[in-house]
Amino acid sequence: MRRVIGIDLHRTFGEVVIWDEGVLRRVGRVEMTRTALEGFGKTLEATDEVVIEATGNSMAVARVLAPFAARVVIANPLQVKAIAHAHVKTDKVDAGTLASLHAAGFLPEIWTPDAATERLRRLVARRHQIVRHRTRLKNEVHAILHAHLVPKCPHADLFNRRGRAWLTRQPLPDDERAAIERNTRELDRTAEDLAEIDREISLAVMDDAAVRRLLTITGVNLAVAAGLMAAIGDIARFKSPQKLVSYFGLNPRVRQSGLGAAHHGRISKVGRSHARAMLVEAAWAAAKAPGPLHAFFVRIRAKRGHQVAAVALARKLAVVCWHLLTKQQDYLWARPALVAKKTRDLELKAGFPQKKGNRRGPTYAYNVKALRDQERKLAEQAERSYERFVAGWKQRPSQHGARERLNPARQE
């Protein structure tokens, strides 16, 4: 006999309702502690299925209850409209709705990552928090300088040795100078935290072939590659590149009613926001390097501007990631010396020893200007080939058939 146990999770307790042959029965509350959850798990039957909603502690609850039940399902809260739009909303009703929807097969559930992917997600999230904190500290220093009409720093980085020496010579009130010193001390401390979290991430992805494959893409560094793989997990769960694009929230909103034409709006932004931000960051980096991605950026920029072009390139990068991971191939227009340098940086961040005097290693190969220039010329040739391909493609509208004349959006 199949039973479905719905649990409405809170910070300190969970409301439990059992669906048994179409009848809902309230059990009560269970405390959100490991001991209490294990005690509740021992009361379950081996054929029971537990349903919870995705919250901050849902993964931990699922891990504790998994050994005691046939299956633990985590529901997507953004898609459980029966709960979100309910007029009568209590813990008991919410738990009963979860159980009833799952019993009827209408519950939108989320993918549960394995332990390694979940740990990588935590590391990437902590790194993101440190980077945001460092950005906030730097912005406060720039705001102080702007408020006192201090001119722009002549050095490339205000917070390196030369920039800080210039900063100490600027005429500022004592309280403002003390605030700048506090922020710079905090920056130095967070730099140590950032180096430590980078070491943990590098060790976690050192043997990950997927991360190394993503590093072959122009504009993708270690932080972006690790963040994307932490978000993606198993690429096999995305049946098409459009699924992955939608998962990142880079797909356009579509409005259509009746027989009218479909209207495509801005991107949905419904998905993993951190991964989407990293793709946009990689897009800006790829737009500065020669190659087909740069040609694509320039083409869209001429029509829609910088911001739209960056988002469009981020979407293209998501499609490229899907193809590389699915087909297990490296990026076709990768620059070998640059990829080797990224790989070596990964090893150094993981704590590998320096190889001084090695004139055959990857870092040495990238430092040879002749090799860099040769790879850059090849990338420029690929960029021109892409431009010629697009120009010829646009001059052959008859080959695309009537469907593109009915839907001009497909031409991009």
- Domain-wise residue ranges, the chain: 3-104, 115-205, 209-411
pLDDT of residue 286: 95
Radius of gyration of the chain (CA): 26
Examine the pLDDT at 20 and tell me if it is beyond 80: yes
Please state, for a pLDDT cut of 70, what percent of the chain lies above it. Answer: 87
pLDDT over 80 at 301, yes or no: yes
pLDDT, tens digit (0-9, with 9 covering 90-100), for 123-180: 999 999 999 999 999 999 999 999 999 999 999 899 999 999 999 999 999 999 999 9
pLDDT at 394 over 80: no
N residues, the chain = 412
What pLDDT score does 107 carry? 80
| pLDDT over 90, % of the chain | 62
pLDDT of the residue at 1: 61
Q: State mean pLDDT over 182-195.
A: 96
User: What pLDDT is attached to residue 407?
Assistant: 42
| Amino acid (1-letter code) at residue 330 | D
pLDDT digits (tens, 9 = 90+) for 344-357: 899 989 888 876 65
Q: For residue 240, how many other CB atoms are within 10 A of its CB?
A: 11
pTM for the model stands at: 0.82
The whole-number pLDDT of residue 105 equals 80
Measure CA 53 to chain center.
22
Smallest CA-to-CA distance from 102 within 29, 234, 30, 7 is with 7
> For residue 38, what are the CA distances in angstroms to 12, 69, 99, 262?
15, 11, 20, 52
- What pLDDT, in 10s, does the model give residues 203-260? 999 999 999 999 999 999 999 999 999 999 999 999 999 999 999 999 887 665 566 6
CA angle 152, 155, 160 (to 5 degrees): 115
Q: What is the largest CA-CA distance in the chain?
A: 79
Q: What is the pLDDT of residues 94-112, one digit of tens each?
A: 888 888 888 888 787 888 8
Span 3-104: which CATH code?
3.30.420.40
Whether residue 410 is predicted with pLDDT greater than 50 in this model: the reply is no
Which residues, other chains included, contact 270 with Cβ-Cβ below 8 Å and sequence gap of 6+? 78, 249
Determine which of 108-122, 179-193, 282-296 has the lowest per-residue pLDDT on average.
Answer: 108-122
pLDDT value of position 288 = 93
> Contact, 107 vs 101, CB < 8 A?
yes
Angle subtended at Cα 216 by Cα 211 and Cα 222, rounded to the nearest 5 degrees: 45
